[in-house]
Amino acid sequence: MTAADAAPPVRLVDVTVQLGGRPVVRGVDLTVGAGEFVALLGTNGSGKSTLMRAAVGLLPLAGGTAQLFGSPVDRFRAWERLGYVPQRSTAVSGVPSTVGEVALSGTLSRRRVVGLARRDDRRAAMEALDRVGLADRARDAVTELSGGQQQRVMIARALAGRCDLLVMDEPTAGVDQESQLVLADLFRGLVSEGRSVWLVAHELGPLAALVDRAVVLRDGSVVHDGPYEHAIGAPHAHDHPHGDEPARPGAIGTHGAWGSAT
């Protein structure tokens, strides 16, 4: 880490994002510091994925500034410092590929000579697979894995660049219990190494105990930014009623009744 790293990995100031001319994210401030684990929560349509996609440069900003490691995102070039897991259920494409091949493609941001993989890139890919508990599956086709395992392959791909910041769009959606526990271990390890983790989720499950901060969006605005315990009851996006949770008065208290599903 050098002096230039004083800037936080993610710094969003007054960010507004429009989709189809309609503001989906409005004036959001959000910072993810070095070594911090931040969860972005909210109901479906609250704008959390949109915000994350804009933060990594996949969507244009309609207002405000987004910085990654101190550089405006549109001028950010240190892609090897950023690992990204898009929102998707599988890592399967039209042609078979092995778990190792997909993980290795995550080292592309580090390769300087026409994308040629060096021995160190292969080692990084295997290390990343090892961290998600799939090193022994490297030669298997991705299609032979369960949904949760495929999700872990995509996280390994993001980690293979040995990034300082891991950004994930719903990595836990539809993931089995075993994979959730593997991920919890993984994120705990990353944070203890001083790396940052920022994820979008509906529910945190076993990750709840790990997050430093929960940021809750509603209708594109931040309605909570602080400890997760104060956010309980809010982030459930499903339509099924939560008879027990809203009934806990202290849980909603100071931040208002932002738990009501839309």
Partner 1 sequence: MLELLDYDFMRRALVAAVLTGLTAPAIGTYLVQRRLALLGDGIGHIALTGVALGLLTGFAPILTAVVVAALGAVVIELLRVYSRTSGDVALALLFYGGIAGGVLLLNLAGGSASTLNNYLFGAITTVSDGDLTLVAGLTVLVLVLAVGLAPQLFAVCQDEEHARVSGVPVRFYGLLIAVLAAVTVTVAMRTVGLLLVSALMVVPVATAQQLTRSFRVTFALAMAIGTVAAVAGVGTSFYADTQPGPTIVVLALAAFAVTAPVGAILHARRRRPRGGPPVPTAGPADSTVVP
- In the complex, what is the shortest distance from the CB of residue 82 to partner 1, in angstroms, rounded to a whole number? 7
103 to each of 152, 155, 194, how far by Cα in Å? 10, 8, 22
Helices within 89-244 (DSSP H only)? 99-105, 119-131, 147-159, 177-192
Least gap, CB of 131 to partner 1 (angstroms): 18
In the range 109-148, which residues lie near partner 1 by CB under 8 A? 109, 111, 114-117, 139-141, 143-146
Q: How far is the CB of 33 from partner 1 (least distance, A)?
A: 21
Of 17, 40, 91, 175, the residue at the interface with partner 1 (CB under 8 A) is 91
Cα separation of 27 and 61, whole Å?
11
CB of 144 to partner 1, least distance (A): 5
Contact 30, 215 (CB under 8 A): yes
From 92-100, 178-186, 195-203, 234-242, give the range in contact with partner 1 by CB under 8 A: 92-100
CB nearer to partner 1: pick between 154 and 217: 154
The distance of closest approach from Cβ of residue 133 to partner 1 in the complex, given in angstroms and rounded to an integer, is 16
Residue 59 identity: L
Distance, CA of 229 to CA of 219 (rounded, Å): 21
Q: Is residue 161 near partner 1 by the rule CB under 8 A?
A: yes
Sequence length of the chain is 262
At a CB cut-off of 8 Å and minimum separation 6, what does 211 contact?
37, 38, 39, 204, 228
Site residues for partner 1 per CB under 8 A: 56-58, 77, 79, 82, 84-86, 88, 91, 93-98, 100-102, 105-106, 108-109, 111, 114-117, 139-141, 143-146, 154, 157-158, 161
